[in-house]
Chains A and B, each alone.
Chain A
Amino acid sequence: MHSHAGYDARELTRFAHKTHPLWWGILGVVTIEATVVASLIASYFYLRMDAEAWPPPGVDPPGLLFPTINLVLLVTSSGTMYWAGWGINRENKLVLTLGTSASVALASLVLVLRGIELSDLGFLWNSHPYGSIVWTMMGFHFVHVVSAIIGTAVVAFLAGIGYFTRERQLGVVVDTLYWYFVAGIWIPLYLVLCWAPRVL
């Protein structure tokens, strides 16, 4: 059996990003993590279903102030991520560095506020089932913010030394995708943790 040339791949881009397998891979990671979140939320309501009072008598749900500020911060940080990507699309390495660094700074602030909030909750993970699931969900998100910060800090550093270009920006694109997820997943968690006990 001979072979003949049926398609020439020489001209195809080697710099795909939104069509690159890695982009799809991150989408897969996001799907998995979203399913974990769904399991946690389902567990939250399952525990609530059989509890006599939820939260238990004398216990307040998490306050509204810090979580709401965090929501705003996370949305803003997604905006700065978007701005960073906008920059590198125009070969503007400075905007890329500034944008990613700003996101890291905003998310670090989120961690600080989250820390204060957790220490002010007034109950611990081992106080009662309510405390267990609330701490789990908050902690879960906390850890995700930390990983997004680490990843983005690396991207910001590489941007600073000029690694990324308009073409070679796969790292930025996938990191941004993950960032949107970490920021966005706070919305359902926020609604469940802060609003469900008040309105449902």
Chain B
Amino acid sequence: MSVIEPPRQGEIVTRTPEELDRLSSTWESPGGLIGWFMPVNQRVIGRRFVLTAFVFFFLAGALAVLMRIQLMRPENDFLSPDLYNQFFTVHGTAMMFLFAIPVMEGIAIYIVPMMVGTRDMAFPRLNAFGYYVYLIGGAVFFGSLLFNIAPAAGWFNYVPLAGIEYSPGLGVGIWTTMITFIEVSALTAAVELIVTILKLRAPGMSLNRMPLFVWSALVTAFMIVFAMPAIIAASSLLVMDRQIGTHIFTPETGGQPLLWQHLFWFFGHPEVYIILMPALGIISTIIPVFTQRPIFGYTALVLSLVATGFIGFGLWVHHMFATGLPQLGMSFFMAASAMIAIPQGIQVFCWIASMWGARMRFDTPLLYVLGFFVIFVVGGISGVMVAVIPFDLQVHDTFFLVAHFHYVLIGGAVFPLIGGMYYWYPKMFGRMMDERLGKISFWLAFIGFNVTFFPMHQLGLQGMPRRIYTYLEELGWGDLNLLATMGSFILAAGFLLSLFNALWSLWRGAPAGEDPWGSPTLEWATPSPPPNYNHAHIPIVSGRYPLWDRRGEESSPVVVGLRDDRREVLVTTVLDAEPHAVAVMPAPTIWPFISAVAASTGFLGILYHPSFFLVGFFGAAATFTMWFWPRRPWRDD
């Protein structure tokens, strides 16, 4: 026990250096080569998720630029048609599955436990497992491009095109298997986030005091739990169709290709909100900090997050307006698609009200948020347009759609995300990113983005279909395409400048200190970068803005009586966060890594022979047993 004389209620507590050392070594991650495969701490895993996701972002971005070069002028032969197909498939899939979801999860894994004042995620080993599965899945997926066997059936992989008859070879198999891996990883992260948020909050952080970023992570996680199983089922069925000759999606033998579309979009539409939701949380985090006053309409914002989560599930059919479903059903989905505008509108209203008349500090994080507003409004308008069935039929599968979803995805998710990176970078690495470079990068990205994608609306209305590798001179699409390609160079320069800024600031940035922005949430109450144990004591919270609430006070209440020689965290009740137990967290181990390798060998092997299923299944079962096997001294005695 650390405290020999138990402190009484209200007594001042300080950690002696020896205690801090012990706490730190209890929560330490092993070093060395083998040690690299062992850590389970949430900040280590979260950082890996974020870094890996950005590697995929830049790779997928490079593919996008190559595609733009191909489309730069009519009848260009820079990329072959087949390579172009592979590129847009890999670009779209990687951006949606390997970048957008994992990066948001990574940030949540890194930030949420600190924000709610605990020391780790609820299932640290599972967290590590999820990361390795993601890493392996992503690496194999991108690796397939090097061998020219990448999937080429588009990011939604429609059957029958994706069936064995029209897509023989490994490509689609790799797509389905890797997607399943990444979904498994997303599901593990989602369950963990839910349990961490519901059960490990600091005492006093009742649900109605939870930071909005935590709310957004919670809603996102719930959406993942209900959306992703559909795509797992769909891709497993497709694997079976391709590998063992089942007939689920094959029309010529009585199967139903449209079933794929339903299952895919039942996941695919919520997917867009899964990507968007954490970004909304980031915006609601950044605005109060840079205006230095509480957000306007906390409750309304929470309710709109939750409402968006629900409505997001009612919309999938709007991706299928062109498939000829019954009229009444279609109208219902059209109305539902328009309904989503209500919570979105409420949020925008609250944000504007929060900024109204405030003295704002226009630092880079806020700039990216303001850029979001402009872009997202355009994306929202074009979205309402395509939700109208007659209009949708007109622009279906044209560049209008490409423009629309890039406005939503880049404006809605990537811009706030980069703002968030500028905001949390000091916490993660202990140094500030350069402001001047940050501002330049913002303007390059903002201008480049609009120059790239705005002309695409016009191209779509002029009839340019998506997914074509080239077009004829006489169609007159050349000028706008050239403009879009120029824009993509500027956009890329903007993102690369931020990358450079991040690397350069690692050793040149100004030291950040605990709380460089004057933020209200708990992650800023520890040194930057935080020590192994996050907070020296688990804090006790009595308001929505803990660090602002305690301004001007002498001392703040904390939890005492947790042991520092093993990994103890406090478990609290779901609604009011009253303490009711202590959980002992597991220490670093290599088993999650071995499990991930065993499972991926098995499930990739299925592409070679179905019997590899057994390898995957029993390999996972055996390694899971080893991972859970109790070792003396029993952890919780």
Residues of A that sit less than 8 Å from B by CB: 1-16, 19-22, 24-25, 28-29, 31-33, 35-36, 38-40, 43, 46-47, 50-51, 56, 125-126, 128-129, 131-133, 135-136, 143, 146-147, 150, 154, 158, 163, 168, 170-171
Contact = CB atoms under 8 A, between A and B. Distances in A.
A20 B571 contact: yes
A5 B8 contact: yes
Contacts of A1: 550, 553-556
Contacts of A16: 571, 580-583
Contact of A7 (B12, B560, B628, B636): B560
B581 to A, nearest CB: 4
Contacts, number: 211
Given A4-B558, A131-B246, 15 more contacts: A4-B10, A5-B11, A6-B203, A7-B558, A9-B579, A16-B582, A19-B581, A21-B123, A22-B122, A24-B122, A28-B191, A28-B195, A43-B237, A56-B254, A168-B637
B263 A21 contact: no
Contacts of B253: 128-129
B540 A39 contact: no
A44 to B, nearest CB: 10
Contact of A129 (B1, B195, B230, B247): B247
B493 interface: no
A4 B630 contact: no
A45 to B, nearest CB: 10
A91 B484 CA distance: 72
B187 interface: yes
Contacts of A146: 617
B13 A126 contact: no
A171 B559 CA distance: 28
B556 A150 contact: no
21 contacts: A1-B556, A3-B12, A3-B14, A4-B556, A5-B8, A7-B560, A8-B9, A9-B582, A11-B561, A12-B579, A14-B583, A19-B580, A20-B571, A28-B191, A33-B229, A39-B234, A125-B240, A146-B617, A150-B625, A154-B628, A168-B636
B562 interface: yes
Contacts of B557: 3-7
B246 A3 contact: no
B475 to A, nearest CB: 39
Give the 7 A-B CB pairs with smallest separation, nearest first.
A6-B557, A10-B561, A16-B581, A132-B246, A28-B191, A2-B555, A126-B245
> Chain A CB within 10 Å — which of B6, B247, B540, B625 has the most?
B247
B461 interface: no
B233 A39 contact: yes
B200 interface: yes
B105 to A, nearest CB: 15
A33 B253 CA distance: 29
A126 B610 CA distance: 14
Interface in B352-404: none
B13 A4 contact: yes
A171 B254 CA distance: 46
Nearest to A49: B256
Nearest to B618: A150
Contacts of A29: 191
Contact of A150 (B126, B550, B621): B621
B13 A5 contact: yes
Contacts of A129: 246-248, 253-256
Contacts of A4: 10-13, 555-558
A136 B246 contact: yes
Given A21-B195, A39-B229, A168-B636, A46 B582 contact: no
Interface of B: 1, 6-14, 122-123, 126, 187, 190-192, 194-196, 198-200, 203, 225-226, 228-230, 232-234, 237, 240-241, 244-248, 253-256, 259, 262-263, 266, 536-537, 540, 550, 553-562, 568, 570-571, 579-584, 617, 621, 625, 628, 630, 634, 636-637
> Chain B CB within 10 Å — which of A1, A158, A170 has the most?
A1
A135 B240 CA distance: 11
B225 A28 contact: yes
Contacts of A43: 233, 237, 248, 259, 263
B2 to A, nearest CB: 11
B246 A12 contact: no
A9 B559 contact: yes
Contacts of B582: 9, 12-14, 16
B186 to A, nearest CB: 11
B240 A136 contact: yes
B555 A3 contact: yes
A5 B247 contact: no
A47 B226 CA distance: 22
A163 B634 CA distance: 9
Contact of A21 (B10, B200, B229, B536): B200
A4 B7 CA distance: 9
Contacts of B8: 5
B584 A3 contact: no
A21 B195 CA distance: 6
B3 to A, nearest CB: 8
A32 B187 contact: yes
Nearest to B540: A6
A39 to B, nearest CB: 4
A163 B635 CA distance: 12
Given A36-B233, A129-B247, A3 B263 contact: no
A21 B203 contact: no
A105 B229 CA distance: 30
Contacts of A154: 625, 628
B236 to A, nearest CB: 8
A46 B191 contact: no
Contacts of B558: 3-7
Given A50-B256, A129-B248, A31 B7 contact: no
Contact of B259 (A6, A33, A47): A47
Contacts of A13: 581-582
A35 B226 contact: yes
Contact of B560 (A5, A28, A125, A171): A5
A8 B191 contact: no
Contacts of A40: 233
B559 A35 contact: no
B553 to A, nearest CB: 8
Given A4-B12, A22-B123, A168-B636, A9 B7 contact: no
A11 B559 CA distance: 12
A12 B195 contact: no
Nearest to B233: A39
A7 B555 contact: no
A117 B216 CA distance: 47
Contacts of A171: 628, 630
Contacts of A8: 6-7, 9, 559-561
Contacts of B241: 132
Contacts of B625: 150, 154
A136 B244 CA distance: 12
A76 B621 CA distance: 25
A2 B12 contact: yes
Nearest to A15: B636
A128 B247 contact: yes
A5 B232 contact: no
Nearest to B629: A154
Contacts of A36: 229, 232-233
Contact of B230 (A6, A22, A39, A132): A39
B195 A25 contact: yes
B40 to A, nearest CB: 14
